[in-house]
Amino acid sequence: MTLRPIGRVRSPIVDRSAMPSWGVPAQVEVFPAFEPALYRIEKHTHLWVMAWLDAGPAERELLQVKPRGRKQEGDEALHGVFALRSPARPNPIGMTVARVLARDGLTLHFDRLDFIDGTEVVDLKPYFHSRDTVFAAHNERVGTAAEVREGLIIQASRFLGTLTPDAALAVRIIEHYRETQCAGQDPGHWQITAPIGRPEMVDALMGMTRVSLGRGTLRLHPADIVEIGAATLYALKAYSGDILAAPAEALFDVHLSRA
């Protein structure tokens, strides 16, 4: 097997330990020999960026590791590397999907990449929503509270297209429910009732939890409340400040055990 780099990442992050889980704005500089391969790249808003990670020989021998942000110790924390995006793996290939903000000749500007500066890129592939979107997929998340919040924000924004106040409120509701009712994890099954008069909130909830009308996991009603499962109800309040920074009690009242 022979791999040859087609470009290099330019990022403000030079130390892997300093890289945020969701990456930072960065660029890929494509080598001049591969300029013809960029022809009509502008047809695609998002690309899969595949890179050769800076993993040493010892990391390539690791088959089980503890993911970053996992609180448990010992065997409870271990995951096989095929169950993670860890750079420790037999062949340290990294893959991330990112939005193309602009093209400047041989340089592609991305909204966020989680590769450190100088990482060699081995391929670029278009992201096809017709092939790559699996809306019903489910994962158990790991990470710190800040990383989980950022992940919820990104999912809501990607589904809706932007983070509106109602989308931010949906983030706070899901974040609060996971922390208070599920010990920081996702429940095994989401069942949500949302206000029909707040479509941006509905979209954000769908993007974060993958509920849907067709599968019967999402219901709409006229009241200004969000109900999760049969036992947790969020009565929404009017709030005009920074929703992500506000205390929960300023955003909603929580009523439990309605069933």
Task: Walk me through the domains of the chain, giving residue ranges and CATH numbers.
Answer: 7-132 (2.40.30.70), 145-256 (3.30.1330.130)
Q: What is the pLDDT of residue 66?
A: 84
Q: What is the pLDDT of residue 70?
A: 58
What is the per-residue pLDDT across 5-37, written as a single tens digit (0 to 9) for each? 999 999 999 998 899 888 999 999 999 999 999
CA atoms within 13 A on the CB side of 9: 33
Q: What is the pLDDT of residue 25?
A: 97
What is the per-residue pLDDT across 127-186, written as a single tens digit (0 to 9) for each? 998 788 776 666 666 566 777 898 899 999 989 989 999 999 999 999 999 999 988 777
> Which residue, chain included where needed, has tokens 């055990």?
257
Burial class of 70 by CB neighbour count within 10 A (0 to 12, 13 to 18, 19+): middle
Q: What is the pLDDT of residue 69?
A: 60
The answer to whether the predicted template modeling score (pTM) of the entire model surpasses 0.75 is no
More confident residue, 123 or 16: 123
Tell me the one-letter amino acid at 107: T
- Tell me the mean pLDDT in the region 185-200: 91
Q: What is the pLDDT of residue 72?
A: 58
Burial class of 67 by CB neighbour count within 10 A (0 to 12, 13 to 18, 19+): middle
Q: Cite the beta strand spans of 78-231 per DSSP E.
A: 79-80, 93-104, 107-113, 120-126, 192-195, 218-221, 225-228
Q: What is the pLDDT of residue 122?
A: 97
